Amino acid sequence: MVRADPAKAVAGLYAHLFRQDHFNQMVMADIKGAQLPRVDWQSFGAIEIPLPPLEVQREIVTEIESYRKVIDGARAVLENYRPHIPIDPAWPVEKMGDLCISISDGDHQPPPKSDEGVPFITISNLDERAEVNFDKTFFVPQCYYDSLKDQRKPQLGDILYSVTGSYGVAVPVKTDRPFCFQRHIALFRPSEKVLPNYLLTILRSPYGKQQGDAAATGVAQKTVSLTSLRDFRIPLPPLETQQSIVAEIEGEQALVAANRELIARFEKKIETAIFRVWGGARESAA
């Protein structure tokens, strides 16, 4: 435990400094022992750290805390935002199976792997904040992809939906790049009755999440069956209304997404403030 001398140091500032890579690198340089690496107190105590005047330390802590409040607020927006659709009771409600050309899942057999070919994605490649993530995929031969039925070949406008484990993650297909997917993912191919982005918004909304929760079965690992997916009840306003709803939700999501950039910017401000301490003139060292 390190206890700051209040006559010399503001503990909050040094809590930030001790988390920085620069300080950790100095600590790691004095690690000793092969089986149980450690830093002895004498080496740790000999590390020199900057000690600006107390008034300057307090100003820096106040600055960092103001940045931290912005970051915390932005994270709260990201964590708590859910698209909300005010559903009109007068809208007709149809089954998902009647709104889609097809609803299918991936091949139930382990796919053959190859060094190159067509990417094969799993539920770990689905992220509701973006489209399909092709990082850390493996490949299957082109002939394997060619042998699949069309409803198992994702197309632009399709929707992928995780049905096992972390079920209910809905992601749009925004690429014409050929790829395959595992059986723990369902593929929706919307018909002309419903806009793909409207269906996607419904699935991501609390209304859609509730249907997923009600349909999920299993103890160790929850699963939503294709039969249950086909029975999902989807409120269906006219296409023009669907488009208006999608436009409003997408506008909200753009504002929410901007909070990620805000977080990155203010984390950089914190780093800059701490760097000034390490890089600034030192009247003495603690």
Question: What are the tens digits of pLDDT across the range 229-253?
Answer: 999 999 999 999 999 999 999 999 8
Which pLDDT score is estimated for 278?
76
CB 215 within 8 A of CB 232: yes
Between 78-82, 180-184, 258-262, the lowest mean confidence (pLDDT) is in: 78-82
Does 176 fall in a domain?
A: yes
Which pLDDT score is estimated for 1?
67
**Domain check: are 100 and 217 in the same one?**
yes
Does 112 fall in a domain?
A: yes
Q: Which residue has the higher pLDDT, 36 or 28?
A: 28
Look at residue 109 and tell me whether its pLDDT is greater than 70.
yes
Which pLDDT score is estimated for 239?
96
**Domain check: are 113 and 23 in the same one?**
no
Backbone angles phi, psi at 160, to 5 degrees: -100, 145
Which pLDDT score is estimated for 283?
40
What is the band of 286 on the pLDDT scale with cuts at 50, 70, 90? very low
**Domain check: are 102 and 206 in the same one?**
yes
Please give the mean pLDDT across all residues of the chain. Answer: 87
Which pLDDT score is estimated for 30?
65
3-state secondary structure of 169: coil
**Domain check: are 104 and 229 in the same one?**
yes
**Domain check: are 72 and 128 in the same one?**
no
**Domain check: are 128 and 73 in the same one?**
no
Does 252 fall in a domain?
A: no
- Residue 274's closest CA among 5, 55, 13, 47? 13
Does 271 fall in a domain?
A: yes
Which pLDDT score is estimated for 118?
96
Domain that holds residue 164: 93-236
**Domain check: are 108 and 220 in the same one?**
yes
- Give the count of domains, the chain: 2
Percent share of the chain, pLDDT over 70: 88
Q: How many CA atoms lie within 13 A of 229 on its CB side?
A: 25
End-to-end CA distance of the chain: 16
Q: CA–CA separation, 32 vs 41, rounded Å?
A: 12
What is the band of 211 on the pLDDT scale with cuts at 50, 70, 90? very high
Does 285 fall in a domain?
A: no
Q: What percent of the residues of the chain are helix, what percent strand, and what percent coil, each to the nearest 5?
A: 45, 15, 40
Full-model pTM: 0.74
What is the band of 285 on the pLDDT scale with cuts at 50, 70, 90? very low
- CATH of residue 170's domain is 3.90.220.20
Q: What is the mean pLDDT of residues 59-80?
A: 93
Q: Which helix (H) or strand (E) holds 190?
A: strand 185-190
Does 229 fall in a domain?
A: yes
Give pLDDT tens digits for 265-281: 999 998 888 888 777 53
**Domain check: are 188 and 208 in the same one?**
yes
Kindly give, in sequence order, each residue whose CB lies less than 8 Å from that of residue 221, ignoring residues fewer than 6 positions away: 164, 165
Sign of CA dihedral 91, 245, 211, 206: negative
Q: Which residue has the higher pLDDT, 42 or 163?
A: 163
